[in-house]
Structure formats: structure tokens, C-alpha cells
Amino acid sequence: MLRSHTCGELRLTDVNTEVTLAGWVQRVRNKGGLIWVDLRDRYGVTQLIFEEGSTDKSLLEKAASLGREFVIQSSGKVIERTSKNDKIPTGAIEIKAETLEVLNAAKVPPFIIEDETDGGDELRMKYRYLDLRRNVVREKLQLRHRMMQETRKYMDAQDFIEVETPVLIKSTPEGARDFVVPSRVNPGEFYALPQSPQTFKQLLMVSGFDRYFQIVKCFRDEDLRADRQPEFTQIDCEMSFVTQEDILNTFEGLVRHLFTNVKEVQLGEVERMTFADAMKYYGNDKPDLRFDMKFVELNDVAQGKGFSIFDQAELVVAICATGAGEYTRKQIDALTEWVKRPQIGAKGLVYVKCNEDGTYKSSVDKFYNQDDLKAWAQKTEAKAGDLILVLSGDAKSTRKQMSELRLKMGEDLGLKDRNVFKPLWVMDFPLLEWDDETQRFHAMHHPFTSPKTEDIPLLETDPGAVRANAYDLVINGVEIGGGSIRIHDRPTQQLMFKHLGFTEEEAQKQFGFLMEAFEYGAPPHGGIAFGFDRFCAIFGGSDSIRDYIAFPKNNSGRDVMIDSPSTIADEQLKELSIQIAAKKE
């Protein structure tokens, strides 16, 4: 070993010990006859001291020539520091250096490699191997490591078997575009990279494995944002001979295990809510329950008073922002402009201030008297000092707009505490959702989700009303995982494909292997998949998943460090029987 100790382990109890350390130069402080060098590795920072008189002159000159990020090895004696640094674990000691060897010199790094850096996102991604030297980034990957280990520990204790599934598979419709890989030995044919191991984990249940899990890479060619990457990691799980309740209890156990052992947080009750209620009261299927502000419908007390905007609306809906009654006209105008942005799409915003003297001030005072506004306040349970915000229009878009406004108010009022965790199971999703573009129904989750038995007759008469045996786990407004009880017999699976618009030939070509497997004794089964990167970001208190991935892509799906994707040689294209289409002018 080139070192006897790491840069993070020496303490006062090691004084007078002869040690050898190796690592990167964090910084050099040169006072002429006295030089301090902060030496860093993954484990911490230790200070080296080179002092004129007790240090050889050539050694002092060598220390003075060191630059940031030089890789060095140094030996010496551990001594007690006269001026201690209580901000680092090794701050009570330093090394009186006796030798110094430069193992590798370094160019001046393009940004400061410290917790507070001067490097922008794109620059740090280009030099990701340098960014990974920073404590704040490395700690996020260490958190990821711990979560992986604790996941495996819990799953093993629950008798799950970790099984690897193929990465080169068949292209199947799962909601996003596939990444495809050409086959050299089968010209004109392609593999696809898996969007999830869905069919394989179901086949493992047919195989009798009973309990499967995998921490697995998945790939989706879709538009990117802070919580999406073209390649991401799932905790993928499946169980046989289980009901929905069994799955919820098992994986609620995993979530509690991770919070207890990684975050040292004891979760409270994991609430349950139907999809219908989530949409009715929060306007989306992943409500943030760290704060209240439930939607309250005002149609019965707001319509019929001569205010045509409300009278013509399918839905008039309000939220009560507790304590926001002191908002100025300027603040309310800014909110109005915010909801009118194209991304939100509201036509306007109505407000009611609940004054401390029991009166009400509203932007629609012309149409509503104090008794009318008092009725609004009673319905929304607004008290003196609160602010009622109201939107109206067609039900679907108005709920979506109010959802965005609710989340903004939660942020503006400081209600999104990153140290508070509110998990929620959202259940009873619609099996199918209508797509206006293709003019047909699509599976809300995937084609293998089972409908609720009592709703199967509705497939013929009212497909949009059919509920699925599906469930999502939401934490603080972020979907962490989702799953379902699966279809496990051929007739039901064929019926599902029919209602998704597959011809018998298309269904057979794409999923014939699975339907045939169902004819060889497939057990009832179900499962769930957690977005592991998102899980890590929740634990780390971040909005973006990028820092929890060692080498992430940017918003264009590019790895700017290795400059990928990139063109390949004509010879390779020829070998793969691929011709690049000419770009349109």
C-alpha cells in the first residue's frame, strides 16, 4: 500500500505515530518558511506541515512547488496542532512531513474542487471525474450505495431472489420510445433496450421463482427534465400468490426499512387515497401531503350571482392559503400573472381576503356581498388572516391549474419542509386513458395490468370507467414507485390487447411468448418498481436526480464528458446494414 492511513482517520490518539499518507492537494498555504498542505482523499482531509529549520530546504522547495490536485505521497510524524480546526474530524492533528513524492502533477482544474464551487452545471458535467472529487457529490453517491445495500438486505430477509434479466430484448410498447440496437449477425433486425424488465419478471413468476427483485438499468427515449434520464435505475420486484394488500404491506416495509436504516427517520402512517380523490382534492395523482390546501368546490355558492365567468364554468374550485391574508395587491397581481402563463393556462384568478375584523375583501365584490363571501369562507374553512384563491373553467384543466397554484403557494409559504416525509399510496387508477391524438385508449400503466374483476363488463360499454388493480407510492409529491396485480391468463390478456387496439396478429407477434407461457400454469402475481434515482434524491433533499448518478446525461441526452452520442465510422454502418438518411435542409 502507498499509504498507512487514509486522510480521514488520524486523531489525537495517533500523536507521535509515523504515518504515510497519499492523496490530492486540496490547497497550499505558503508563509515563506512555513508551508501547510491540505491533503485530501475520499475519507477526509489531513494537514501536512513543512517548517524551515526542521525541514530539509529541498523538501520545503518541493512543497512550495505543489499545485491544486497534485497527487502526492508524504511520510512523517503525527503531532498535535496548536491552532485546531473543529470543522473537520482530523482538525486536532497535523503531519510533520519528512518525505514528499509527487506521484502525478496536475493541470490547474477548470473549477474549484470544493463544496462551494465556481463551476457551472455544463462545465462540471464535462469534467465529471473532477466534480466527483467534491464532498457534496461523493456523499450523494455514498447515500446511493447505502440505499442499495439496505435494499438488498431487506429483500433477502423477505426471501426474494435477485435475478438479472436481459438488456438486449424485443421492442414492445410500454409508453415511451425504445432505444434500439442493430444486430450485425441478423441484418435489418434490431434489439431494444428494456424500458423495464416487465415481461421477464412475469415469466419468472410463471417459472415458480415466487419472489424476484433486481436493481436494474432501464432505458426510455423520452424528453428529459430534472427527474428524468435516458437511462435510470429501478428496484424491480414481483411476487406470486399475493393480493394487492400483500404487496402494499411488503413494500411499505421496504420503505420503512430504508428510512429507518439510512435516513434514521421513523415514518408515520402511510396514507391511502383513491386516484379519483387525488384528482378531486389535489388535481394530480401524486399529491404533496406535507401541507393541506385541499380543493373545495364552490359551484353551489358561487354560481347564479351574475358573475358570468363562474356561471358558465363547469367547475369553480378554491384553496385556502392559511395566513396569507396579508398578501399585498402587488403579490396577488403577480400570482394572477403566474397562473395566466401558457404553462398554466388559467384565464384569471379570483381572491378573497379574510380580514381580522371578520369582513371580506374580494376581487369580485361587485357580484358578491359579505354574506356570499362568508359562505365561501365557511366552505373552505378559512379563518381571519387567510387568503382564498379561486379558479374556474372546464373541470379537467381547472383542476390541473389549481394543482400548480397549490404547489406554488406551498413553496411560497415555506410549507415544503425537506425534513418532513409524507408517503401515500394512490390506488384504483383507471385501467385505460383516452389519447386525443391517436383517438384511442392506451394503458395508463402497461398492457399487463389487471382490471378490477367487477369492472371487466365495462370494457365493452364504458372502457374509461374501468379501474385497475394498480397503485403508486408517492412521497412529498414525487412518484417513487408504481405497480399492479398482473393479468395471468391468456383470455384476459387477449381481451386487454383487443381494447388497446391490437389486432390478434400484432398481439401474437409482440407478446405471443407471454400469452403462451400463461397457458402453462401461471400463478396469480403482482409487483412494483421503484425509481431508485428519485428515491435517492428524496433522501438527499434534492429536486434533481443527476447528482445521484455517477455519470449523468444533460437535458439533450448527451454525455458531454465523453461526447456521446456521436457518429460512427462508415465501415461500422456498412457492417450493421445501416444507411443514414440525408438531413433535410
Q: How far apart are CA 564 and CA 558, in angstroms?
A: 6
The answer to whether the annotation marks 146 as part of a ligand binding site is: no
Concatenating the DSSP letter of every residue in 325-374 gives TT--HHHHHHHHHHHTSTTT--S--EEEEE-TTS-EEETTTTT--HHHHH
CA angle 429, 434, 437 (to 5 degrees): 145
257 Cα distance to chain centroid: 19
The answer to whether the annotation marks 9 as part of a ligand binding site is: no
Q: How far is CA 346 from CA 130, 284, 338, 393, 400, in A?
A: 45, 16, 9, 8, 10
Residue 189: name the closest of 211, 216, 168 by CA: 168
The answer to whether the annotation marks 52 as part of a ligand binding site is: no
What is the 3-class SS of 396-413, one letter each residue? HHHHHHHHHHHHHHHHHC
Q: How far apart are CA 534 and CA 536, in angstroms?
A: 5
Helix (H) / strand (E) element for 49: namely strand 44-51
Q: How far apart are CA 242 and CA 207, in angstroms?
A: 16
Q: How far apart are CA 353 and CA 360, in angstroms?
A: 6
Q: How far apart are CA 405 and CA 390, in angstroms?
A: 10
Q: How far apart are CA 549 and CA 561, in angstroms?
A: 14
The answer to whether the annotation marks 94 as part of a ligand binding site is: no
Q: How far apart are CA 344 and CA 464, in angstroms?
A: 26
10 three-class SS: coil
Task: Put residue 70 in one of left, alpha, beta given phi > 0 → left and psi -120 to 50 → alpha.
Answer: beta
Concatenating the DSSP letter of every residue in 113-157 gives -SSS----HHHHHHTHHHHTTSHHHHHHHHHHHHHHHHHHHHHHH
The answer to whether the annotation marks 222 as part of a ligand binding site is: yes
Q: To the nearest 10°, report the CA torsion of 439, 444, 447, 449.
A: -150
The answer to whether the annotation marks 220 as part of a ligand binding site is: yes
The answer to whether the annotation marks 575 as part of a ligand binding site is: no
Cis peptide before 565 (omega within 30 of 0): yes
Q: How far apart are CA 286 and CA 488, in angstroms?
A: 28
The answer to whether the annotation marks 532 as part of a ligand binding site is: yes
Residues facing 20 on adjacent strands: 75
Task: Take residue 565 and report the three cell numbers written for it.
Answer: 452520442
The answer to whether the annotation marks 149 as part of a ligand binding site is: no
Q: How far apart are CA 496 and CA 485, in angstroms?
A: 14
The answer to whether the annotation marks 467 as part of a ligand binding site is: no
Residue 93: name the closest of 173, 13, 182, 183 by CA: 13
Q: How far apart are CA 585 and CA 509, in angstroms?
A: 37
Annotated binding site: 174, 220-222, 229, 445, 479, 486, 531-534
Annotated binding site for L-aspartate: 174, 220, 445, 486
Annotated binding site for ATP: 220-222, 229, 479, 531-534
